[in-house]
Amino acid sequence: MKSPLLLLTALAFLTSTAGAQARPDAAQAATRNPHGALTVPCDSCHTFTSWKPIRSKPDFDHAKTRFPLRGMHESAKCAQCHVVAEFKNAGSRCADCHADLHRGQFGGRCEQCHSVKGWTLVKSLQQHQNRFPLLGAHATVDCESCHKNGASGQFTGMPTDCIYCHSKEYQSVQDPDHQALAFPSTCQDCHTVNSWFGAKFDHLRFAHYALTGAHAALPCSACHPGGQYKGTQVTCFACHQKDYNATSSPNHAQASFPTDCSLCHSTATWAGATFDHNQTLFPLTGAHTSVACATCHVNGVYKGLSTACVSCHLSNYNGAANPNHVQSGFPQTCEVCHSTTAWQPATFDHSKTIFPLTGAHTSVACTTCHVNGVYKGLSTACSSCHLKDYNGTNNPNHAQAGFPTDCSICHSTASWAGATFDHNQTLFPLTGAHTSVACATCHVNGVYKGLSTNPNHVQGGFPTTCEVCHSTTAWQPASFDHSKTAFPLTGAHTSVPCTSCNISGVYAGTPTDCYSCHKAAYQGTTDPNHVAAAFPTTCQTCHTTTSWLGATVNHTWFPIYSGTHLGKWTTCADCHVNSSNYAVFSCITCHTHDQATVDPKHSGVSGYSYSATSCYTCHPSGVAGN
């Protein structure tokens, strides 16, 4: 069947030709060209016989157009691309002639992957230079192995995770069972792109302990027998219990050695084990470092040994004769005098005792104080060594004057001479003119002990702090400043005779509380009755030293002088209904006529009741909101 367009074209041509023969001037008439603006002569493609068929080899150079013919395009028929007579309307994009079997996954530019030599000659995808380069065994795999359904399969947006293609292998492998052991699905952690076999397992990353030394060369089954990988113990003893129990030099089990093999052994080999004694309670130093283990660990006993020196060196302690340690009662803590380097020379650090040596004591021979080799139980008092010096001193005579035997009060360890007495450390510190008076002025005839004054201060229990009443100017007149005592006088107390409080001339130990002097006033008060009302005996709570009258009660814990209670009461009895006991009170004495008003305001309040003290239970400060 002829194309309608070609038939119309031929008819138009024949009509125009016939007209031209009848009318010579008709050549100048316009003729419609079905090919559009095409300047190529008609005989380049058509024959003089008819428009069709066209010449087998049209005289048309496609290379001079915007779409030169290359490759398989050279053998294509014109009508395959030029489906209409107007040739310039033919598209120049691949998609204009070729259906996109990839459904837009790679865009519309077929030339990115294909060439004009043939569809099967893929260019860049042969190297897969995208986000998933084909390496190792992947380079030999057919495209459809991953991209199912050929050209119409999925090519873009595919996952690059190994498990996407290899989930079957992950689920089926049994040695080890990846699913049972919850192995990660990141195959590349153990496998390479070259082969599934020869996988390497990063023990540090996934099992949290690295394989080192001899462990690195062991087959997995050595620690994971029967393909049991999950829950495997990581302690040395879990695999090496047999080695631990069989060891006899020394016998680990008998010696109760710890089961942490890493303390002595390394992963390189069992042989050459070393024990770091510095990690124990007894680090080895000095001569101890070169002593054979069996010297201290007799009969293979390693557990429970004492770290005390004497546990090994008791024979040395008992045999020491210079000095005799046993006879002298020396302590058995050898380290006090000896070091681990050698027994000799031994040094004794007296500064670590309760009697550090200073001054002349540092150069005295030990036997001067430790007579007859006695070192234990000696007194540290000066008089234990210097009693002879104390008794022989006559300027002043220490014994006669009753001086204390504590030599350190006046003397130093540097020398007996130049003794000084600090009067400020006595009951009578020297001030003013006293500092320049010779000792004999007050201490007549060498009497230092028991000096007194007039009146009889001892009998009166006066304090020995003379400055309370006397000045350094003169003994008389003496005045007593009560403000410097524990009981300063205020108010009416300032005009009371001393004997009113200090009965029978007793001044020492006089109590300072009000009740001690005012007990009779407390018990005799009837308005209100203090005893019956159980008022406290701390008079200052309500009274002042100015006068007993005008007493006020400090009612701050329940504000009756402010707020809603201000001016609402006249006497204490308004609330304290029992005059013999002020601990008893009633709220509803004042609020009794308000129950009809109060009850509705407390509707819904848990535990509410209208009783004598119920208001105070919820309103301890007398405020409605509290």
In tens, the pLDDT along 581-620 reads: 777 888 887 776 678 888 888 888 888 888 888 888 888 7
Of 92, 123, 147, the residue at which a domain comes to its end is 92
Report residue 523 as tokens: 């018990």
Residue type, 496: V
Nearest to 234 by CA among 247, 215, 217, 253: 215
In this structure, is residue 561 part of a structural domain?
yes
Average pLDDT over residues 305-316: 92
- Residue 553 reports pLDDT greater than 60: yes
pLDDT for residue 121: 57
Q: CA-to-CA distance for 358 and 355, rounded, in angstroms? A: 9
Give the Å distances, CA to CA, from 445 to 401, 424, 441, 455. Answer: 9, 22, 9, 23
Task: Give 159 or 26, the one with higher predicted confidence.
Answer: 159
Q: Is 320 left (phi over 0), alpha (psi -120 to 50) or beta?
A: beta
Beta bridge partners of 174: 177
Confidence band for 534, pLDDT divided at 50, 70 and 90: confident
Res 2 pLDDT > 80: no
**In this structure, is residue 87 part of a structural domain?**
yes
Q: Is residue 277 part of a domain?
A: no
User: Contact at 8 Å (CB) between 2 and 78?
Assistant: no
* Other beta carbons less than 10 A from residue 196's beta carbon: 13
Give the pLDDT mean for 137-162.
78
> Above 90 in pLDDT, residue 317?
yes
Task: Assign 463 a pLDDT band (cuts: 50, 70, 90).
Answer: confident
Statement: residue 626 has pLDDT above 70: no
Residue 7 has a pLDDT of 34
Which structure tokens are listed for 255?
Answer: 């010696």
Report the SS3 class of residue 353.
coil
Has residue 148 been placed in a domain? no
Counting the structural domains of the chain, the total is: 3
Structure tokens at 266: 């390394």
DSSP state of 351: G
pLDDT at 283 over 90: yes
The more confident residue out of 478 and 170 is 170
User: Given pLDDT bands bounded at 50, 70 and 90, which one contains residue 30?
Assistant: low
Residue 557 lies in a domain: yes
Joined together, the tokens standing for residue 427 give: 């009951």
What value does the mean pLDDT take over residues 16-45? 60
Share of the chain above pLDDT 70, in %: 89
pLDDT over 60 at 442, yes or no:
yes
Tokens representing 89? 């309307």
Q: What is d(CA 62, CA 92) in angstroms, rounded to the nearest whole number?
A: 13
Residue 600 exposed, middle or buried by CB count within 10 Å (0-12, 13-18, 19+): exposed
Mean of all residue pLDDT scores within the chain: 80
Tokens of 370: 């430790």
Q: Is residue 408, in this structure, part of any structural domain at all? A: no
CA angle 322, 324, 330 (to 5 degrees): 115
Q: In 3-state terms, what secondary structure has residue 118?
A: strand
Distance between CA atoms of residues 621 and 557, nearest Å: 7
Say if residue 195's pLDDT is above 80.
no
3-state DSSP assignment of residue 529: strand
User: Domain end: 227, 261, 283, which one?
Assistant: 227
More confident residue, 406 or 535: 406
Q: Do 524 and 614 belong to one domain?
A: yes
Domain range for 86: 4-92
Last residue of a domain, one of 185, 210, 227: 227
Phi-psi group of 231: left, alpha or beta (phi > 0 → left; psi -120 to 50 → alpha; rest → beta): left
Query: In 3-state terms, what secondary structure has residue 323?
Result: coil
Answer yes or no: are the C-beta atoms of 215 and 239 closer than 8 Å: no
Report d(CA 97, CA 82) in Å as an integer.
10
Q: Which of 270-284, 434-448, 462-476 has the lowest mean pLDDT?
A: 462-476
Backbone angles phi, psi at 305, to 5 degrees: -70, 145
Given a cut of 50, whether residue 23 has pLDDT beyond it is: no
Q: For residues 64 and 77, is the Cβ–Cβ distance under 8 A?
A: no
pLDDT, residue 590, reads: 78
Q: Is the pLDDT of residue 411 over 80?
A: yes
pLDDT in tens, 482-529: 887 888 999 889 888 887 887 776 777 788 888 888 999 889 888 778
pLDDT tens profile 254-278: 888 889 998 889 998 888 888 888 8
pLDDT > 70? residue 129: no
The pLDDT of residue 13 is above 70: no
Q: Which residues pair with 529 in a beta bridge?
A: 526
SS3 state at 251: strand
**Do the domain assignments include residue 350?**
no
Is residue 307 situated within a structural domain?
A: no
For residues 54 and 460, which has the higher predicted lDDT (pLDDT)?
Answer: 54
146-162 mean pLDDT = 80
The pLDDT, as a whole number, for residue 456 is: 60
Rounded Cα gap, residues 68 and 63, in angstroms: 4
Retrieve residue 580's tokens: 């013999």
**437-443-447 Cα angle (round to 5):** 165
Per-residue b or e along 544-557, where b marks 16 or more CB atoms closer than 10 Å to that residue's CB: eeeeeeeeeeeeee
